[in-house]
A and B are shown apart, each in its own frame.
Chain A
Amino acid sequence: MPRRRSAKILAPLLGVLMLGTGLSACSSADAPETVRFHLSKPEAIPYFRELIKEYNAANDDVEIVLDSSSNLQAGFLRGNPPDLGLLNYNMEMARFMERGALSDLSDMPEAGRILPEVQDLVTQYASYPGRTSVLPYSVMAASVIYNKQIFKEQGIEVPTTSAELTAACEKLKAAGITPFYGTFKDPWTAAQGWFDYTVGGEVDVADFYKAMNELGTEVGPDSPASFQKDFKEPVSRMKQLIDNYTNADAASKGYGDGNLAFAKGESAMYLQGPWAFGEIAKTAPSLELGTFPLPMTENPEDLEVRVNIDLAAWIPEASRHKDAARKFLSYLFRQDVMDKYNAAQLGYGTTTDAAPATDPRITGMRDYFEAGDFYQGPSKAIPLTIPTENYIQGIALGGDATQALSTLDADWARLALRR
Chain B
Amino acid sequence: MTILNTPAIEGAETATAAGTKAPRRAAASPRSRGDKANWPLTTILVLCALTVVVPLYVTISMAFKTQAQAVDGNAFSLPAPFSLEGFTTAWNLTNFPAAFAVTVLITAGTVAGTVILGALASFAISRNWDRKLFRYSFFYLLAAMFIPFPVVALPQIQLTGLVGLDNPAGVVLLHIMFQLSFSILLFTAFLRSIPAELEESARIDGASTWQTFWQLIFPLLAPMSATVGIFAFLASWNDFMMPSLITSDPALQTLPVVQSIFQTQFSNNYNVSFASYLMAMAPAIIVYLFCQRWVMEGVTQGAVKG
Contact = CB atoms under 8 A, between A and B. Distances in A.
A16 B169 CA distance: 10
A257 B248 contact: no
A255 B251 CA distance: 32
A21 B268 contact: no
Interface string B49-90: 000000000000000000110011100000000000000000
Interface string B107-150: 01100110010000000000000000000000000000000000
Contact of A69 (B71, B172, B257): B257
Interface in A87-126: none
A6 B116 contact: no
Contacts of B160: 78
A27 B171 CA distance: 14
Contacts of B244: 69-71, 74
A283 B154 contact: no
A161 interface: no
B157 A283 contact: no
Interface stretch (B190-198, B211-219, B284-292, B293-301): B211-219
B208 interface: no
A256 interface: yes
Interface string B256-295: 0110111011111100000000000000000000000000
Contact of B261 (A40, A75, A79): A40
Q: Which 7 A-B pairs have the closest CB atoms?
A: A78-B161, A13-B112, A275-B266, A67-B250, A24-B169, A24-B167, A27-B249
Contacts of B252: 23, 27
B170 interface: yes
Interface string A16-41: 11011101100110000000100010
A16 B108 contact: yes
B250 A80 contact: no
B264 A42 contact: yes
A273 B266 CA distance: 9
B164 interface: yes
Interface in B188-239: 214-215, 218-219
A20 B253 contact: no
B179 interface: no
B73 A260 contact: yes
B14 interface: no
A175 interface: no
Contacts of B113: 17
B169 A23 contact: yes
Contacts of A260: 71-73
B214 A65 contact: no
A45 B93 contact: yes
A259 interface: yes
A276 B113 CA distance: 47
A68 B112 contact: no
A5 B220 CA distance: 13
A375 interface: no
A45 B94 CA distance: 11
Contacts of B262: 42
A36 B264 CA distance: 22
Contacts of A79: 161
Contacts of A317: none
A58 interface: no
A229 to B, nearest CB: 31
B267 A20 contact: no
A2 B217 CA distance: 11
27 contacts: A6-B214, A16-B108, A20-B169, A24-B167, A27-B166, A27-B252, A28-B164, A40-B261, A42-B267, A45-B261, A66-B250, A68-B250, A68-B261, A69-B244, A69-B258, A70-B247, A74-B245, A78-B161, A78-B248, A80-B248, A256-B71, A257-B73, A260-B71, A260-B72, A275-B266, A278-B267, A283-B72
Given A17-B113, A70-B248, 20 more contacts: A3-B214, A6-B215, A16-B105, A20-B168, A21-B169, A24-B165, A24-B168, A27-B167, A27-B249, A28-B167, A42-B93, A42-B261, A69-B261, A73-B245, A74-B248, A78-B157, A78-B160, A80-B161, A80-B248, A275-B267
Given A23-B105, A69-B258, A17 B112 contact: yes
A226 to B, nearest CB: 29
Nearest to A77: B157
Interface residues of B, number: 52
Interface string A342-355: 00000000000000
Contacts of B73: 256-257, 260
A314 interface: no
Given A20-B109, A260-B73, A78 B261 contact: no
Nearest to B218: A6
Contact of A282 (B68, B164, B166, B246): B68
A256 B263 CA distance: 13
B250 A36 contact: yes
B253 A69 contact: yes
Contacts of B93: 42, 45
B180 interface: no
B184 interface: no
Nearest to B265: A188
B6 interface: no
B77 to A, nearest CB: 14
Contacts of B266: 255, 273, 275-276, 279
A13 B169 CA distance: 14
Interface string A266-281: 0000000101101100
Contacts of A188: 265
Contacts of A74: 157, 244-246, 248
Contacts of B71: 256, 259-260, 279, 282-283
Contact of A75 (B167, B218, B248, B265): B248
A233 to B, nearest CB: 29
A6 B71 CA distance: 52
Contacts of A276: 266
Contacts of A367: none
B106 A20 contact: yes
A79 B247 CA distance: 13
A361 B175 CA distance: 50
Contacts of A273: 266
A20 B245 contact: no
A43 interface: yes
A88 B262 CA distance: 16
Contacts of A257: 73
Q: Which of A13, A43, A45 has the most CB of B within 10 A?
A: A13
A161 to B, nearest CB: 30
